[in-house]
Amino acid sequence: MKPPQLLTIGVLALLTVSVHADTFGSGGNAFTIDFVPIGNPGNANDAGAGGGLYSSPFGGVSYVFQMGVTEVSQDWITKATNLGMTHVTAGTFTVNRPATSLTWYEAAGFVNWLNTSTGRQAAYQLTGPNTGMTLWSSAQAWQTGGENLYRHKDAFYFLPSENEWYKAAHHKNDGVTANYWDYATGSNTIPTAVASGTGAGSAVYGQTVATGPADITQAGGLSSYATMGQNGNALEWTESAFFAPNDNSSASRALRGGGWFDAEAQLRSSFSSGSGPQLEGTGVGFRVASVPEPSSTLLMLSAGLVAFARRRRRAARP
């Protein structure tokens, strides 16, 4: 496991935060996931408090957690499989592009492997070859911030809930506020559409289907918490049921962020979609969240203004 380090991404190199890098496996199958701290615990849900046009009542999180800087790559899935992980099949793209075409249950299976391969408690009580799930009991379930029967209370790695995802993507990172950005680039300005790159205020969207997503480290500019690709590149599974609470193991799951072939409207904070957890979408990937490291230094970013207004629920995506 690597010590915390300073992360500087982007042409202008304006964002510097504390990063914790966790290493899995060994030898040729070792891979590292970088996490950034998501602080400001107890912030309010998005209340459209910053002058932006697009908001939804999400983002309030009562605790500190860590969010993966990037989406999960196909390389990580391949290496975890080489190390003994079973029943997680992605493979639409290769190497450092996002792992897509895998169900919510398979994404949860990868997260479980991250936990169990490092001697920790599995986050999800999956059934069959990652084709279903049984709810945890209240005594076993995650209770921080409210009961969550999907996630085990002792899980270290997990799929981000919709609130966790939304906060990391859109919160202004200015304390315990209801101030949010319209886009996951720390801005209310429509992102610049690119096929690849790390320029501030850019996102990988508006491309042809054939173009495919960018490498996970070339997936656009950063959010206020220094996550990359929460706008565009690949649509992302969240842990949460599309209609809360998490009390039905087969309920549709919320998807966020838009993909490389989507339009600008799909990037907005107000846009979400839902699909059954059995969906295997070519454009659907995911990222990993975790509990905070005790030694993590929460260096908060400064941003600019803020904003938002109201959420539109969308039907399942193809």
Return the minimum-mean-pLDDT range out of 151-155, 170-174, 291-295. Answer: 291-295
Provide the sign of the torsion angle of the four alpha carbons 18, 150, 278, 129, taken in this order: positive
296: tokens are 């993590």
Domain assignment of residue 273, yes or no: yes
Per residue in 241-289, pLDDT (tens digit) is 999 999 999 999 999 999 999 999 999 999 999 999 999 999 999 999 9
Paired with 133 in beta bridges are 126
SS3 sequence, 114-133? HHHCCCCECCCEEECCCCEE
- Which residue range is the domain that position 133 belongs to? 5-290
Per residue in 27-85, pLDDT (tens digit) is 999 999 999 999 999 999 999 998 899 999 999 999 999 999 999 999 999 999 999 99
Domain assignment of residue 298, yes or no: no
Exposure pattern of 46-83 as b/e (b: 16+ CB <10 Å)?
A: bbbbbebebbbbbbbbeeebbbbbbbbbbbbbbbbbeb
Domain assignment of residue 313, yes or no: no
Specify the CATH number for the domain of residue 27.
3.90.1580.10
Three-state SS for 204?
strand
d(CA 119, CA 276): 30
Domain assignment of residue 90, yes or no: yes
C-alpha separations of 250 from 122, 140, 247 in Å: 19, 19, 9
Helices (H), the chain: 74-82, 104-116, 162-170
Domain assignment of residue 95, yes or no: yes
Domain assignment of residue 304, yes or no: no
Instruction: State the pLDDT confidence band at 295, using cuts at 50, 70 and 90.
Output: low
Return the minimum-mean-pLDDT range out of 7-16, 47-56, 110-119, 225-234. Answer: 7-16
Domain assignment of residue 30, yes or no: yes
Residue 314 reports pLDDT greater than 90: no
106: tokens are 């398979």
SS3 sequence, 69-120? CCCCEHHHHHHHHHCCCCCCCCCCCCCCCECCCCCHHHHHHHHHHHHHCCCC
Instruction: Enumerate residues 6+ apart whose C-beta is below 8 A from 55.
Output: 46, 47, 48, 180, 182, 269, 270, 307, 308, 309, 310, 311
Domain assignment of residue 55, yes or no: yes
How many structural domains comprise the chain?
1
